[in-house]
Amino acid sequence: MASFKSVWQQIKKHQRFLVTTHHNPDADAACSALAMALVLKQLGKKVIVVDEDALPAWLEFLPQSKIFTPKAKVAKADFDAALILDCGDYQRVGKVSELIGARYKINIDHHVTNDSFGDLNVIDPKASSTCEMLVDLFKEGKVKLTKDISLLLYAGIMTDTGSFRYDNTTAKTHAITAELMKFGLSASDLHQRLYVGIPSADIRRYVDVIHGAQLLLKNKVYCVSLTKRMTDDFSAGFDLKEKIFGFLRGVEGVELVVILTEVNSSETRINLRSQNNVDVAKLASQFNGGGHRKAAGAKMALGLDATKKKLLSAIKKII
C-alpha cells in the first residue's frame, strides 16, 4: 500500500482535481468526496466533484452538498488528476470514467476487494470507512479541520459502522470520532438526519414490500425483489433498501439478506448483507461486484428473475 505521504506529494504536484466515488453513493462515499473537496479548496486547489448519479435526497443536508454533481450535467472537465474515493472497482465510477480517461488516478479506499486500479493506491481494509482513512490523511498533511469537514467525516464513519454497531468499529474509530465531536457536532441530530424514518405516505407500500419478502434456503436467506415501478412509487428521499435491511436482519436465524433492484429489463442491482459467517464480498465478486465481508453489492446484465435464479444458485453453494 502506498503511503499518505505519497498522496500529499501528488496533491502538491497538481493544481486541478476531479473527485469522484462509486455510483449510487452511500453516506461514506458522498461524505469522503465532499470532505476531500473542501480540503482541496482550503489549499487553493481547483476542484470538481462528479458522480455517475446525483446525491441521494436524504444526504442533501450535508455541508456543500450542491457541489456534488451528476455526470449527466458535466460534458467535459478540466483537471490534472482524479481522486477516486470509497470505490472498490474502477467500473463502479461508471460514466465518470469517460471524463477521467488516462489522467493520473489516486485510489483511496477501505474495501477488501479493491483491485488497486489507480496509479497510486492507498487501501486499508482494516479501516471502518474511507472517512476514517481521510482523518489520517488530513492529519498527515497537517490540515486544519473545520466544523463542516468534521461533520462530513463523522457522518461517513457513523453510517459505515452502523452507528458503531458493526464489527469494523474499533478503539481507533471511537478515538477519531471523539476528536471530531470537539467541533460541537450533535450525534443525535446527525442520527435523525442520516437514519430517516419511514414517511407516512410510504408506510403501506413498505409493509407490502416486507410482506412480499421470501424466506429461502431453510429460512437462512431473505430475498426481496424490487421492480422499477415499485421503487419509483416511494418518496425520493426515503432510503428504502436500508430500511429493508434494518428490519429483515433482525429476524432470528437469518444469515443473509438479498435485495434485487430492477434497473431496467436487462440490468439488475444486487445488494447483500450478512449476519454471521457468509462473506458477501466474495459472493459479490463472482458477479464483478465487491464490498465488505458483511456488506457488498454488484450489478448483473440480466433481468430481475434471471438474476435471482443465478444468484440463489451461487448462494446455495455457500450456505
Residue 243 in this model has a pLDDT that exceeds 90: yes
Q: Give which of 150, 155, 157 is closest to 181, Cα–Cα.
A: 150
Full-model pTM: 0.87
Q: What is the mean pLDDT of residues 268-274?
A: 96
Q: Which residues pair with 298 in a beta bridge?
A: 270
285: confidence class by pLDDT, cuts 50, 70, 90: very high
- How far CA 100 is from CA of 17, 35, 91, 96, 125, in Å, comes to 10, 20, 12, 7, 25
Distance of CA 236 to the CA centre of its chain: 18
Is residue 225 a contact partner of residue 308, using CB atoms and an 8 Å limit?
yes
Q: Which residues pair with 109 in a beta bridge?
A: 123
Q: Distance between CA 60 and CA 68 in Å, rounded?
A: 9
Question: Phi and psi of 189, rounded to 5°?
Answer: -65, -45
What kind and span of H or E run contains 249? none
Residue 236 in this model has a pLDDT that exceeds 90: no
Q: Distance between CA 175 and CA 281 in Å, rounded?
A: 27
Q: What is the mean pLDDT of residues 92-104?
A: 96
Q: Return the pLDDT at 238.
A: 86
Q: Distance between CA 206 and CA 185 in Å, rounded?
A: 32
Q: Enumerate domains of the chain plus CATH numbers.
A: 4-194 (3.90.1640.10), 200-316 (3.10.310.30)
Residue 272 in this model has a pLDDT that exceeds 90: yes
Q: What is the mean pLDDT of residues 293-305?
A: 93
Task: Quickly list DSSP for 120-132.
Answer: EEEE-TTSS-HHH
